[in-house]
Structures are given as C-alpha cells and as structure tokens.
Amino acid sequence: MANKAKSLETSIEELNDILIKLESEDITLDQSFQLYNDGMKLLKHCNDSIDKIEKKIIILNENGDSNEL
C-alpha cells in the first residue's frame, strides 16, 4: 500500500469503504482482520498528514500571531 502518494481525501474515502465492508454480514474473520489492518495503516497515514499540515500552520503563524489548533 503506497500511502505516501495518496491524498488525505483519498485515504479517508478508502477508510469509509473499509468500514462499509466491515459492517457486512458476509465477511469472514480473515477478511475482517485484513481490512482492519489496512484501515489502521490508512488511519496512521491520515494522522501523519494532518500532523504535517498542523506543523505548517504553526510555522506560518510564528511570524504573526500564534493560534492554538
């Protein structure tokens, strides 16, 4: 899974798709475990992306007023 090339929006859409699949009654335990692992990787990617954006905002605000996020 090449998370680095994915946008935040794409990752969130994929997470939503995984949630829909996990709610299915026809899913096996192995499939649900794999989807869970994929979802956790996507969630980490989303969190990392958001952290990078927050750091950029803080840096931009250092020259002026610093706002809490």
Note the pLDDT tens digit of each residue in 7-62: 999 999 999 999 999 999 999 999 999 999 999 999 999 999 999 999 888 888 77
If one looks up domain 8-63 in CATH, what number appears? Answer: 1.10.287
Domain boundaries, the chain: 8-63
pTM to 2 decimal places? 0.73
Amino acid identity of residue 25, one-letter, is E
